[in-house]
Amino acid sequence: MHGLRTLAGTLAMLVSTTLLAQPVGSGVSIGELPFGQTFTTLGSSLGASTLVDITQPASSDGSLTSATVRWQLSGTPCANGYKIKALRQGTQLGTFTVVGERGPFPTGSGDLTTTLNPPIAVQAGDLLAVTQINPTSGNCGGAALSASDSTHTALRITGDVQTGAASVGSLLRGYQINARASGTLPTLVGVIPGVGSLQGASGSSFRTSIQIASGGAGGQTVSGRLVFHPRGTGASASDPGVDFSLQNRDTVEFDDIGTTLNVSGLGTLDVLSTGSLPLVTVRVFNDNGSAGTQGFFEPFVRTRDAAGPNSQVLLTTPHDPNNFRMNIGVRTFEQGVSFIVVYASKSGTSLGTIAAKTFPPNYFEQFGLQQFVDNIPASPDALLSFFVTNGSAVIYGSTTDNRTNDSAVVIASRP
C-alpha cells in the first residue's frame, strides 16, 4: 500500500498521455467495457474498496447519464452493492475529490446498466470509479478486472472514498476495470478511419466489408450502430447508419458497407455500442469482378487509441515513390485537432517547411501525399512526424501499388 501522494508522478504521466475522442452527438464518456468475458476474480476478492480507472478519463466536459459495470457475483445479490463515482484530481497531486456519486445500486451477474439520475456533471480529465460496498451481511461480489497490458492501470483505494479524503491506495498495473459511463447510449467505442465504395486510380474499384462479433458477458445482447460520415464535411446527426444487435458470441457481416448504407465515395465510420467493445474486422478490397479481389485488413481504432494532446505519432513514405502512391487520412473527434508536421529524409535532413494543420470537429479527409506536404517533392523512406498540440485524431497512411492496385493502411503510431 502506498499513500496517494507517492503516486503523483505516475498518475500525472498516465492521465496526460491518455488519448481522447468522441463522435458527434455522443457526449462525454469515461472508461471501457472490453471485449469478451475473460477476467480475473481479483475484483470480488478486494472487499470494500473503490476502484478507479486512471487511464481512461473523461473525454470532454459533459454530463454522465448512464453507467455499465461488469459484475462478478460471488454470493447472493445485494440490494445495495456498489456506487458510481466521478473523481477529480485535487489541488495537490495525488489527491482526489468526489465531484459526483450515485447509488448504491443492486448487484447481479454480467453487465449491469443503470441510469444516473440526476446526471453527474464532469470535466475533461475526470476519472470513473466504482465503489464496492460489500456489507458484512453478505458477499456482493465485485467489479470485473481484466488482465491487460501495461497501458491499463487501476487504482484501488480502501473503503468508500469521500470528497476531500486523503486515502491510501495501491496501483493495479496491467488491470482494466470493466466499467464505462457516458452521456448517451449507444456510446462511441471506436472508429474505422477510412471506408468507402469508390473508383480509385488506375482502374481500381474499392469496397469495404465489415464483420462484427460480440463478446458480451452473461449472454446479454449487445446492440449498436455503424454511422458513415462522408469526407470533407463535418459529421451530421442525419448521416446514414445501420443498427446491429448481437447475442453473446454472435457475429454479423456487411459484405459492402457502401451498398448497405446506399452511399458512395470515401468516408469514415463510427462504431457505437450499448455494451461491450465489439470485435470489429475490416477488409478493404479492390473488386476485380470474376477475377476475384485484392485487399487488406484495416485496423479498428478504439477511441482511447487516437492521437491526443501532447502526443507524437509517425508514418514513413514508400521506399519506391515511382511505383507506389501514398495518401494521408485524418479523422478528428469532438474537439477537432491541430498538429505540426515535420517531414525529414531517411538521413534526418528536413525536406521543407509544412504549414501547421488544423481540422474541425468530427471531420474526415484524405489527401494525396504531395498535397498534404504542401507540394514538397516525394522522397523515399522519408519520415512524417505529427506533433498534436490540441484535440485528437486518427492519422493514417494508405499506400497503393500503381501497377496492381494492391493497397495497405497503417495507423500513425507512437515512436
Same domain, 195 and 292: yes
pLDDT tens profile 264-294: 899 999 999 988 888 899 999 887 777 777 7
Same domain, 299 and 220: yes
Of 189-193, 352-356, 401-405, give the lowest mean pLDDT range.
Answer: 401-405
Same domain, 58 and 151: yes
Same domain, 258 and 240: yes
Cis peptide upstream of residue 57 (ω within 30 degrees of 0): no
DSSP string, 187-251: EEEEEEEEEEEEE-GGG-EEEEEEEEE---GGG--EEEEEEEEETTS---TTS-EEEEEE-TT-E
pLDDT recorded at residue 147:
82
Contact between residue 374 and residue 352 where contact means Cβ atoms under 8 Å apart? yes
Number of domains in the chain: 3
Same domain, 48 and 172: yes
Same domain, 110 and 253: no
Distance of alpha carbon 225 from alpha carbon 209, whole angstroms: 15
Domain boundary among 283, 303, 323: 303
pLDDT tens profile 101-114: 999 999 988 889 99
State the average pLDDT over residues 350-379: 95
pLDDT tens profile 221-261: 778 999 999 999 888 889 999 999 988 778 999 999 999 99
Same domain, 266 and 366: no
pLDDT tens profile 129-141: 999 987 655 578 8
Same domain, 206 and 174: no
pLDDT recorded at residue 185:
85
Give the CA distances from residue 390 to residues 122, 152, 332, 413, in Å, rounded to whole numbers and listed in that order: 20, 23, 11, 17
Contact between residue 195 and residue 282 where contact means Cβ atoms under 8 Å apart? yes
The one-letter amino acid at 247:
Q
Domain that holds residue 145: 2-182
Q: Coil, strand or helix: which one is 372?
A: helix
Same domain, 166 and 221: no
State the average pLDDT over residues 363-384: 95
Q: Fill in the DSSP letter of residue 414.
A: -
Contact between residue 164 and residue 117 where contact means Cβ atoms under 8 Å apart? no
pTM above 0.85, yes or no: no
Same domain, 135 and 217: no
